Structure 1
Amino acid sequence: MSATRLLVLGMVRGYGRAHGYLIGNDLMSWGAGEWANVKWGSIYHALKQLTRDGCLVDEVVPPARTDYALTAKGEREFQRLLRDALRRPETRPDALAAGLAMLPSLARADAVALLRERLAALEGRREAARKQAAEWDDPSHVRELFGLWEHSADSGVAWTRGLLDRLEAGAYAMAGEPGSPGDPGSWVILKLE
């Protein structure tokens, strides 16, 4: 799963139309270079690839800027990537980070359901690691690896439960709710034009 692909689709979706500099400037100001390994070059590569894939359409705006808009295929791809990022615990944290950045694009009930899937997967991983550690024999130091996996899964379980509690208590304006930044075209361009 490409965190950059998800974020670029989400940015274009949020603005309704956006150009590469706007997308890059926003992502860099969010610190996405650190938490999602987004680079300026990867943003422009994603824009070109998503256009070739039919997820975006481009339009040259004089004098020399290219604006992008989401297609119906792009909306489906965005939703698929976003849902996978939230439901599937991955080893690399960039997918989850990108999913969290776009979390308000989902209805509250959808986000809760996806995070419950994540919680169940993490609980399963924790139990599997616990079992592997208990059954492991030789070399004994390898049990530390299973202990690390158990600890990581346990931490993920605690964090996911906390997010679920916050969402169920009404935290964050989600798609379809007043003030949500998750509806297509709802973002306002601030001082970047």
Structure 2
Amino acid sequence: MLVLGIVRGYGRAHGYRIGNDLLSWGADEWANVKWGSIYHALHTLTERGLLRDHNEVAGRTEYELTERGEAEYMKLLREALRRPQPRPDFLGAALAMLPSLPRAEAIALLRQRLEALEEQREKAQAQVDALVDPPHVRELFGLWESQAAGGAEWTRGLIARLEGGAYPMAGEPGSPGKPGSWESLKFPPYPPR
């Protein structure tokens, strides 16, 4: 999703630009992104017909999203917002690409996420309450309950911020959510830390 999203944002992008942006966001830490994995992803996505490569400049391949790539990107983005996952990189990627969605759709997907997190919290609490042996396993269920409760609280906050007009979303003035709209954005050079 991240690679597709960055290519989409620029309209056309080369591997170094994609990697530079991802690493400037710290994706090497929260999504285990490495330079080699970026080029592997570009090759694989091109083979799958999700990206189209352009070799107009010697030694530099630029990539562009295909219609299939746009559909896959939006599917991945929606799923990452809607469904809580054990791995935080899915949500991190979705947040990095959040403006690709219209405000109302993003809020609706986050409400589905909130409902799922509240169900997870209730299930974990029931497991804590029902467990007798071994008693230390209650800590595992307690951890799950705490994580779901924290995720639900954060999700409620993001919904409130979006409802309050935070962040320009797709279709709104100044939104970086339109394909090819990132040329004017100024990302810090790698590494920003």
TM interval, shorter chain, is over 0.9
**Counterparts of 2:82 and 2:40 in 1: how far apart (Å)?**
26
- Alignment pair present for 1:172 and 2:187: no
SS at match of 2:80: helix
Matched, 1:56 2:25: no
Paired residues in the alignment total 187
SS at match of 1:188: helix
Out of 12, 18, 25, the residue aligned to residue 13 of structure 2 is 18
Note the alpha carbon deviations across 1:54-79, whole angstroms, 9 max, x for none.
00000112221101000000000000
Aligned partner letter, 2:130: E
Q: Tell me, yes or no, if structure 1 residue 7 matches structure 2 residue 2.
A: yes
1:88 pairs with 83, 88, 94, which one? 83
Letter in 2 for 1:81: L
2:114 maps to 1:104: no
- In the aligned structure 1, how far is the partner of 2:136 from the partner of 2:63? 53
> Counterparts of 2:161 and 2:57 in 1: how far apart (Å)?
45
| TM-score of the pair, normalised by structure 2 | 0.94
Output the amino acid matched with 1:166: R
Residue 42 of structure 1 is matched in structure 2 by 37
How far the C-alpha of 1:51 sits from its partner, in A, is: 0.3
- Rounded to whole Å, the distance in 2 between the matches of 1:159 and 1:62 is 45
Matched, 1:187 2:168: no
Q: Report what 1:118 is aligned to.
A: 113
The letter of the residue matching 1:47 is: L
Alpha-carbon separation, structure 1, partners of 2:41 and 2:165: 34
Give the aligned residue type for 1:49.
T
Q: Which runs of 5+ in 2 are unaligned?
A: none
Considering only aligned residues, what root-mean-square deviation do their CA atoms show, in Å? 1.3
1:145 to 140, 148, 158: 140
Unaligned runs of 5+ in 1: 1-5
In the alignment, the residues of structure 2 paired with residue 177 and residue 12 of structure 1 have an alpha-carbon distance, to the nearest angstrom, of 20
Identity %: 66
Aligned to 2:74: 79
